[in-house]
Amino acid sequence: DAGVIQSPRHEVTEMGQEVTLRCKPISGHDYLFWYRQTMMRGLELLIYFNNNVPIDDSGMPEDRFSAKMPNASFSTLKIQPSEPRDSAVYFCASSSGQGAGELFFGEGSRLTVL
């Protein structure tokens, strides 16, 4: 079975540009999470979805960040406009309702904003 698939793996962009990160969760998982990891702040929960519906977006840092899940197999995290402080590794993870706590992470998208 394929795991959580994220793209792109690496993104380098200039300040002010729009960035879109993509995620395909494990088939059958009904929870999808977006996390951000930095050396300073560790792993932070940004937003999570249940059955494609956003449940808690209190971790989204600013209005520049938005996330969507149009269907059960796809989610995007968009940053517009991007800033250097957004540089981080962004992880998508999925889980099933029966396995709360067991998150399966994608390989992450490393974002560098110059």
Partner 1 sequence: QKEVEQNSGPLSVPEGAIASLNCTYSDRGSQSFFWYRQYSGKSPELIMSIYSNGDKEDGRFTAQLNKASQYVSLLIRDSQPSDSATYLCAVLLLYNNNDMRFGAGTRLTVKP
State yes or no: residue 25 binds partner 1 (CB under 8 A): no
State yes or no: residue 28 binds partner 1 (CB under 8 A): no
DSSP 96: -
Closer to partner 1 at the Cβ: 5 or 74? 5
State yes or no: residue 42 binds partner 1 (CB under 8 A): yes
The C-alpha atoms of residue 59 and residue 109 are separated, in whole angstroms, by 18
Closer to partner 1 at the Cβ: 48 or 65? 48
Closer to partner 1 at the Cβ: 17 or 96? 96
DSSP 57: -
DSSP 86: G
Phi, psi of 13 (to 5 degrees): -145, 170
The C-alpha atoms of residue 15 and residue 92 are separated, in whole angstroms, by 23
Q: Which residues bind partner 1 (CB under 8 A)?
A: 31, 33, 35, 42-45, 48, 50, 55-56, 91, 95, 100-103, 105-108
